[in-house]
Structure 1
């Protein structure tokens, strides 16, 4: 397990103090009983451009670093939703477990999912690049997609996964073109949002999280490919890149907002709390 819990990273590197002592850490276990309905939350938007980039095995995750070329229309921008600024997509990362019943970083009512895909973007209105943005307030937004197993493969995700054989070991990389990241997003305007952190060192508390309320479908075969990747540099050590997720961290009185209108209420009532939440085919009630 990719453990970044209390009293761990802070003892290893003083630059990672937030990982052990921060109060706005991610991921979290989402409690459907405490969600706050916010009627002012707008739908968020990810531009539907195709992009190019480099798929990398970092040893912790399978990552797609996105190359931005505005003249060629090869860039992707996140706007709207809970965001005030414009955020440029920087990379995609995938977290997954050894077994089908866990692997996601975020939980819902204690329930884990086999995979979580994260689209990471930085505030291009205020900062020149991701490295500057991840050190500053309002610097980063992450769109989180929770995975659910399906009988058929996800054609948009397969565009990335089929290159996994070429990056089986840590440090391996391969160029990829014509990736339609917009196809990964489920057809819904509903999401949850909260203020949190990056889930890897140094755990900077600069992230506006957007957790989509419909699943990213993935087949068992696709998940098996991910589980075949190694977190080491060569085949002498057979350690697989599995369970590369951070455990849920304390909420510490933060508010998790949503634009999902409770089914028991009308829009005119403008309810303050969401009474139930449906995710990945599971109906989780108060």
Structure 2
């Protein structure tokens, strides 16, 4: 840390303490409350600065490891209700705990995870809204669905700090001429939460239909992309995007970080954590070529290459 930064950190700590400010409300994506300082101002967030398996990451197609044992991920068809909240940091859908929407199979072994929270990220400019990137390219937005391990833990708060605690499913968002029907439902509800700390109830949302219809994905071990950056998340990045049209994206871009109407409003969108170093982690995928050998002789293969195609989804191009 640079010497001149120390007085500012002390001042921040004094302000938070004197106003009994919750750390959950204090952090932002810029300045002295931004990512560079998350792990310095709060000891409970030390992984934000010291962790070696942090998220998001840049997915490099020609470094993917094909794993033939990765099964499709299953998200149950159960419709859910919950609360849509403008936290001032992002737009979050907090699922009611009574629901029974589960996530299982794929890279999750025999564990079942209960869907708990959904974060919707988007950019103020096109192709500048996602946290995960593919071959250095950002996307218009990103849906992040979090679930907790219901076999090992009682709730999300307990699981988020524990081994095998959390699954994170990321679906990148692309602008097109139409909007996914469930995403449109959320966008419509978002008109009720224009300002910070506003919330509204959402009924009968299908998480399964909100996610792209694909069995293919990329997976790696990582962390939350917000404080405290706990390295307990099995990330699954879907191979197809979710679509939104310009009209609905514009509605999202009207959301604000201010608590009421302001002459110069601070917009909610356009913020996220920068990609983090991979640090020798393996990034696996079940995107495969047609097998050239007997199915009984499956093995992990390194000599497979992928790229972001014109629709910017991962795709096979060669087996050189």
State how 1:52-201 maps to structure 2 within 5 Å.
52-69=81-98, 74-84=99-109, 85-201=111-227
| Residue matched to 1:37 | 66
| Residue matched to 1:9 | 38
Contact 1:136 1:206 in 2 (8 A): yes
Deviations 1:109-141 (A, max 9, x none): 000001000111000100000000001011000
Residue 257 in 1 paired to residue 280 in 2? no
> 1:278 offset after TM fit, Å?
4.2
TM-score of the two chains, using structure 2 as the length reference = 0.83
Name which of structure 1's ranges 228-237 and 206-215 shifts more when overlaid on structure 2: 228-237
Contact 2:135 2:308 in 1 (8 A): no
> 1:20 offset after TM fit, Å?
1.1
Give the secondary structure class of the aligned counterpart of 1:116: strand
| Residue matched to 1:51 | 80
> 1:277 offset after TM fit, Å?
3.4
Higher RCO (CA-CA < 8 Å; seq separation 6+)? 1
> 1:283 offset after TM fit, Å?
6.5
Name which of structure 1's ranges 180-189 and 51-60 shifts more when overlaid on structure 2: 180-189
Gaps of 5+ in 1: none
Q: Which has the higher helix share?
A: 2
Q: Measure, in 1, the Cα distance between the counterparts of 2:280 and 2:310.
A: 26
Contact 1:26 1:198 in 2 (8 A): yes
Aligned length: 280
Q: Measure, in 1, the Cα distance between the counterparts of 2:173 and 2:146.
A: 17
In structure 1, which of residues 14, 18, 22 is the aligned counterpart of residue 51 of structure 2?
Answer: 22
Name which of structure 1's ranges 252-261 and 151-160 shifts more when overlaid on structure 2: 151-160
Gaps of 5+ in 2: 1-27
In structure 2, which of residues 305, 314, 317 is the aligned counterpart of residue 275 of structure 1?
Answer: 305
State how 1:207-222 maps to structure 2 within 5 Å.
207-222=233-248
> 1:181 offset after TM fit, Å?
1.3
Give the secondary structure class of the aligned counterpart of 1:145: strand
RMSD over equivalenced CA pairs, Å: 1.9
Give the secondary structure class of the aligned counterpart of 1:87: strand
Contact 2:61 2:308 in 1 (8 A): no
Q: Measure, in 2, the Cα distance between the counterparts of 1:280 and 1:167.
A: 35
